[in-house]
Structure 1
Amino acid sequence: MKHLGYIQLIVFVLLFWLGWQMIDRIAFREETITPLEVALQSADNNRKELEKVLCHYQKNPADSLKYKAACFLIENMPFYTYSYGEQLENYKSYYAWLKVRKGKTAQQVADSVKKVFGPMKEPQKKRDIMEIDSAYLCHNIDWAFKVWQEQPWGKNISFEIFCEYLLPYRIGDEPLAYWRETYYKKYNSLLDSLRMSGTLDKEDPLVAARYLMARLPDKKTFFTSIAPFSFGHIGPEFVQYQSGSCRELTDFAIYLFRALGIPCAIDYLPVRGDGNASHFWVMLWGKNGEGYISDFMKNLIRVRKCSLYQKEGAAKIYRNTFSANRDLHKQMAQYGEEVYSFWRIPKFEDVTSDYAYSYQKELVIPLEKQYKDERSGRIAYLCASNRDRWIPIDWTVYDASRLAFRYVRNGSVMRVATYEDGTLCFLTDPFYLDKETNFPHYYSIGKKTQDMVLYAKFNLKEENSFRNRMIGGIFTGSNRSDFSDEDTLFIIQGIPNRLNTTVKSWSDKGYRYLRYFGPPKGACNVAEVAFYEKDDTVALSGKIIGTPGCYQHDGTHEYTNVFDGKTWTSFDYSKPTGGWAGLDLGREVKVDRIVYTPRNRDNYVRPGDVYELFYCDKDWKSAGKIKATADSLVFRDIPENALLFLRNHTRGKDERIFIYENGSQLWK
């Protein structure tokens, strides 16, 4: 039994390799055998089931398009696998539990799933081409044609768009399910009034999609990137809870729209330009062919008006397709070398130009910016940053004298590499494509060095929603418990930029009662407050007082957190306005200074944790480790113009590259 896991892994690797060989046979060798026949051969004992489908649609000339649709699905079927297992389905209960979490955090719900169902066993894998039977495939094809032909907007949908973005029976690697009829019966009636309308343009898929989204009975979504297991696509049943990451929310929209005859696609960026995550969203077209997107199940917005078009710094954007991109694979296969995993079975197309607001139509890497090391790889990859790793996001032919990539969006740090023996071999230093100048800036170090003071390991812009909620917050003192005679000690007028901000009290009077009163609509978000007497290093203490009740309704974010000495806990009042937290000192005391900490995700430098700074000099090189004794770190003699990365060895995983200029960390 102890070898079972290894055997399953070997089997999966072999199946994956066979799939790769299959796509090579289907698309890239000049053989007389057709892609359909190769797919049928790979079906093994399941071939008869697939041939039943083909024979069924060949009988009637009226079903000629259905026959072509069946061929399209079967030809691409060898490239799809899915995981299955009872425990896997048990774990997916997580998404149902999130919907009724009753104040619990996503992590608490995930922990509950693990506790109830026990440890997850490695799921087994199945291949579509060997599992799909004739009944399932015919049911999918018939229902796809039904909605295409019966809906008034179907007349503006071509057969090519239908096949790629409405017909597919699955999205990715989710278990097979009869989802079309279920979704149709549940949601189609929401469009009845549109179909009967004499004023709305019911022949426009965009109008239908907007009409449908506005009338969904449950519009409440819950976003979290936390999950008890790395599921992949979870399937049509569980995405209806509209809880989870952008993947789950996007998948729900795909099932919903396609079940009602609205073709749509998943567009995605492999790596954000200023973060460590990928991102998915829904894309569909109006009857005039213009693209619109919905992000997190929100309103459909024209591509050229959305924030992803104008602001997001991701270098490349792709669109998922059901069919394998045979032309792309043929281009890369001609060089006879192992390609990076993203391109091994490419089921996507490059749509960066559709989102290209600030971009390089051709990004040329000058010869003088390339390393002198000789490389055997023929394919060069453009790589984006994910923490301290580099992720290939585009490719071109490696020609040192003419190294160029097409349609690359500005706003990201990247570098170029080949892929040899399973390892990225870098060809350049990292560089930043500047949105303002439209030119790359290379982070190449020289002999000059500088000292630096660091306050965080991750981009604090991600925490602006917390930091902004402190602007306008007031510290007051009083000698009455109802604060009817309170004096203002300090008003916060700017965003806190470090874990602990120290300010002088504006009053020289003595007070028994002290408090922090949150600004309007700030839910009194604050992590820590400490009041000090003059020349004292120990914070004042007393009975904790304040407004009870937190937004989570579970006691995890109460006012008592403000004086617990833990910067990673916080107060999140149950109401937007009116919350406060304070101390009854039991005596009158003059406050000399105040130290406050914003609500945060624990990405500031935290006293007691061990940090290590790295700078990029071809590879990441250590500048040394420091155990923090305060909320800042001082590193000396660090190369100027270096790309940097600060790792916390004690806790956490959110870390991001940055540079250091004019005494500040600038996140990239």
Structure 2
Amino acid sequence: MKPILYSILICTLILACTRYPAGVEETLSQAGRNRGELKKVLRHYREHPEDSLKYQAACFLIDNMKWHLSTERTVFPDSSLFEWHTRFDSLYTNMMLRIPDSTLYSERNRERYWQFSYAARQVASVFPPDTPTIVKGTFPDPQNISSAFLISHIENAFHTWHTSPYASYLTFGQFKEMILPYRAVTGYPFYENGQRLSDMFGKHLAKSDEKTYAKIITRYNLYKNGIRQMFPNYQQTQHVGTYDMFIGQHHDCISIADNFCHVFRAYGIPTVVDCNLSYRERSGRHFHCTLLDSTGKRFKYNQTMNYTASTPSTSASPSFFRNTFGAQADSPFMLKAEGETLPDYFDTPCIREVTNENYRVAPVQLPIEKELSNNLVYLYTFNVSQGLIPATWGTVDHQHRKAWFKNVVYNVLYFPVYLKGDSIIPFASPFYITSPDTLYTSTTLVPVSPEQPGKRGQLLLQRKYPEKAYLKYRASLMVGGRFEAANREDFKDSVLLGTIKTTPILNLQELTPEICRPFRYYRYVAPDSFPTSNMGLLEFLTDEYTPEDSLQPATALPVYSPGEINRNGSEKRYCKLQADTSKYSYLRYYSAYNPNMQYSSYGKIDLMPLKRSMKVKKIRYAPANAENHIVVGHSYQLMYWDNGWKNAGTRLARYNFLQFDNVPLDRIYWLRDLTAGKEEHPFLYKDGKQLFIYHDTIVPRAAEFYHFESHF
């Protein structure tokens, strides 16, 4: 009996010694034929006690590897792309030899830089490298990561952690998420070995005189752009991972943030990729990088020149999420009930909400009147492309029938919902919370719901989106601009027709010239204080013309209400003068005479030369604007919120206003332009006026935003 017991004990001890943590074992079970490669990494570090921390790091990567996969793979037909990069890298290294930060942008260096780039591009064009191709498919990380890749990557991560002044203070927990991972963006199909990136970029980043993040980022951008200019122009339209930085045309915020994060981690700077799913006013989502320094201060890298994540404006996002490598216990993926549906972006355990790092937030609880089988509920916000989009999640207290939310941002309009299959079902009225006025006042929850749900009435609408502050500001700089006429091309005999004396409206307006006699040349001259025309539309009008002149009717002045409709009918029939394009061919496409007001004329002078002298009776002009007013000829649909977006009717705009009758009142409204345009924003309607959210009703305060040093 004893030999059998000894045998069992020995087998048990051997088994205990060979087993790995449960999460690692789960990944190994999914690795298929690649299982041996992953076990080789584990054995490599477990056999040496001095590598115990590296073994833990390897376990962390392999444990969480099961959550990651690629849907694309880059295939390089040969080594020519790498060989050309090596040549260009050597050329760039010599070009930048001993150039300090202070003279990077000097005229001499710019000229030298251009000459090197031009020569390199000409040589490479003779024998261009073959561009990579993309293979579509499903490539789970456990089945595709080699032992050589992982060991080399881990070794570089530990080297930079121990030697980098920017990372040596990190705890092991911070290191595992900000230096160690070989992936930066959840679900993004490309990744690169840290040792390879360190070899490519490290020597260039280290050349910075001042070892600040700003200077190192400058060196990174210079190198990336320099190598890109040396390569011939490619028609690469798909992402190719790291080489997005150097070739092709397809680079967006995801690839920019992903590549930046990989490079800076490999160099030893703690970096993560954060994302917002929407903006308060704009469509789309955005990825940017967050860097950490030894004091705990955060920096932003956001090269796409979008609104920065920290801008205290209404264009900021209502929430932020961090892409993690490790699964997060408090992620919706881990908290959901069996069979519960999740929003697409939340359907991964590798995200963490970090809204509280960017904004001041408050906890909120809401009652749930019905019994839910879900563990999760959500606060959605308005999004023009989808109507609603998730901003944050909350947990359900089934016993007390309450929803608990931890990261509610002040002055954001929220729609509380839960998911049932593919349906978004509201469970409470839209609301926002107001920030305390003083230390002694509390947060207030303000529901946005009708006081008299059955009341109906009329809406008179003039816009689908509020006027933009920067466009109004640019229009104000036109004050002092003047309209002139002359019979000489050099305008030495010019006369003044009129001056812009007040800030123009962001639409068409009219000026009557002070002098009315025939002239051959007309023009608008921007003021010296702001020598940019900023004209979106400019028409010189006359009512004295012949059929041979072939003039087109003038653009009608805006009509904002039913009472103004008859005004245009009593006006004279004006036509707009046409530029003599036989001599000035560029005027066929000049912005000032383009009927689309969204494009600005950027010159100081907008010239209108005629084939013969003619009188100008009126001048109509509009500053460059987004045309978010009601545009004649466009079709619009009015939506209102009633436990979901409901249709209140469709109208074709005959004038610059829309009238909707018998509409439910005191609601949240959304006017959709079905013809053109992407900018739309919800509004309330009070006392005959449109009150746009975040402009006229729910206005954020600068104190609610944390401020960061941002780099572009």
Counterpart AA for 1:384: T
1:630 aligns with 2:655: yes
Distance in 2 (CA, whole Å) between partners of 1:427 and 1:473 is: 55
CA shift for structure 1 position 405 = 1.6
CA shift for structure 1 position 488 = 4.2
* Corresponding position of 2:51: 63
Q: For residues 392-411 of structure 1, what are the structure 2 equivalents within 5 Å?
A: 392-399=390-397, 402-411=402-411
Residue pair 1:544, 1:581 contacting (<8 A) in 2 also: no
- Select 2:269's aligned residue among 243, 253, 262: 262
* Corresponding position of 1:130: 143
TM-score calculated relative to the size of structure 1? 0.74
Q: For residues 208-357 of structure 1, what are the structure 2 equivalents within 5 Å?
A: 208-216=212-220, 217=222, 235-239=241-245, 244-296=251-303, 307-308=310-311, 313-328=316-331, 332-333=335-336, 337-357=340-360
* Corresponding position of 1:166: 179
Q: For residues 252-651 of structure 1, what are the structure 2 equivalents within 5 Å?
A: 252-296=259-303, 307-308=310-311, 313-328=316-331, 332-333=335-336, 337-357=340-360, 359=361, 361-365=362-366, 367=367, 376-387=373-384, 388-399=386-397, 402-434=402-434, 439-445=444-450, 446=452, 447-449=454-456, 451-461=458-468, 464=471, 468=475, 471-472=478-479, 474-480=481-487, 481-484=489-492, 485-491=494-500, 493-494=502-503, 496-497=505-506, 500-505=507-512, 507-512=514-519, 513-519=521-527, 520-521=529-530, 523-533=532-542, 535-544=571-580, 560-564=590-594, 566-567=595-596, 570-573=599-602, 578-584=604-610, 586-592=612-618, 594-601=619-626, 603-651=628-676
Query: Equivalent residue of 2:265, what SS?
Result: helix
Query: Equivalent residue of 1:215, what SS?
Result: helix
Residue pair 1:268, 1:278 contacting (<8 A) in 2 also: yes
Counterpart AA for 1:442: P
Counterpart AA for 1:162: F
Distance in 1 (CA, whole Å) between partners of 2:433 and 2:250 is: 35
Instruction: Tell which structure's C-alpha radius of gyration is larger.
Output: 2
Residue pair 1:474, 1:488 contacting (<8 A) in 2 also: no
Distance in 2 (CA, whole Å) between partners of 1:474 and 1:637 is: 46
Aligned residues: 571
Alpha carbons of structure 1 residues 638 and 122: separation in structure 2 relative to 1, 3 Å? farther
Q: Which moved more, 1:178-187 or 1:320-329?
A: 178-187
CA shift for structure 1 position 455 = 3.8
Counterpart AA for 2:447: Y
CA shift for structure 1 position 86 = 6.7
Residue pair 1:475, 1:514 contacting (<8 A) in 2 also: no
* Corresponding position of 2:681: 656
Counterpart AA for 2:363: E
Distance in 2 (CA, whole Å) between partners of 1:536 and 1:87 is: 68
Counterpart AA for 1:363: V
Distance in 1 (CA, whole Å) between partners of 2:499 and 2:522 is: 12
* Corresponding position of 2:11: none
Note the alpha carbon deviations across 1:387-427, whole angstroms, 9 max, x for none: 15222222223357533422311232211111112211111
CA shift for structure 1 position 154 = 3.7
Distance in 2 (CA, whole Å) between partners of 1:652 and 1:130 is: 45
What is the identity percentage for the equivalent residue pairs of Structure 1 and Structure 2?
Answer: 24
Residue pair 2:66, 2:141 contacting (<8 A) in 1 also: yes
Alpha carbons of structure 1 residues 604 and 181: separation in structure 2 relative to 1, 3 Å? farther
Residue pair 1:541, 1:585 contacting (<8 A) in 2 also: no
Distance in 1 (CA, whole Å) between partners of 2:412 and 2:537 is: 35
TM-score calculated relative to the size of structure 2? 0.70
Distance in 1 (CA, whole Å) between partners of 2:472 and 2:200 is: 37
CA shift for structure 1 position 143 = 2.0
* Corresponding position of 1:185: 199
Note the alpha carbon deviations across 1:539-598, whole angstroms, 9 max, x for none: 32132579989xxxxx7x97634334x22574543xxx5232335373342424x33233
Distance in 2 (CA, whole Å) between partners of 1:375 and 1:177 is: 41
Residue pair 2:324, 2:350 contacting (<8 A) in 1 also: yes
Residue pair 1:265, 1:283 contacting (<8 A) in 2 also: yes
Distance in 1 (CA, whole Å) between partners of 2:620 and 2:280 is: 34
Alpha carbons of structure 1 residues 373 and 153: separation in structure 2 relative to 1, 3 Å? closer
Counterpart AA for 2:576: L
Alpha carbons of structure 1 residues 155 and 35: separation in structure 2 relative to 1, 3 Å? same
CA shift for structure 1 position 509 = 3.2
Query: Equivalent residue of 2:66, what SS?
Result: helix
Note the alpha carbon deviations across 1:59-100, whole angstroms, 9 max, x for none: 3223222211111111011111112267999xxx9xx9xxxx
Q: Which moved more, 1:623-632 or 1:161-170?
A: 623-632
Residue pair 1:490, 1:505 contacting (<8 A) in 2 also: no
- Relative contact order higher in (CA < 8 Å, ≥ 6 apart): 2
Residue pair 2:540, 2:616 contacting (<8 A) in 1 also: no
Counterpart AA for 1:403: A
Alpha carbons of structure 1 residues 475 and 248: separation in structure 2 relative to 1, 3 Å? farther
**Alignment RMSD (CA, Å):** 4.1
Query: Equivalent residue of 1:326, what SS?
Result: coil
Distance in 2 (CA, whole Å) between partners of 1:239 and 1:665 is: 44
Residue pair 1:337, 1:377 contacting (<8 A) in 2 also: yes
Query: Equivalent residue of 1:237, what SS?
Result: helix
Note the alpha carbon deviations across 1:458-511, whole angstroms, 9 max, x for none: 4542873895486336341323343342314241632633xx322332525335
Query: Equivalent residue of 1:259, what SS?
Result: helix
Distance in 2 (CA, whole Å) between partners of 1:169 and 1:179 is: 7
Alpha carbons of structure 1 residues 50 and 463: separation in structure 2 relative to 1, 3 Å? same
Query: Equivalent residue of 1:395, what SS?
Result: strand
CA shift for structure 1 position 610 = 1.3
Distance in 2 (CA, whole Å) between partners of 1:422 and 1:312 is: 29
Alpha carbons of structure 1 residues 351 and 625: separation in structure 2 relative to 1, 3 Å? same
Structure 2 residue ranges without an equivalent (≥5): 1-18, 86-129, 229-234, 438-442, 544-570, 695-712
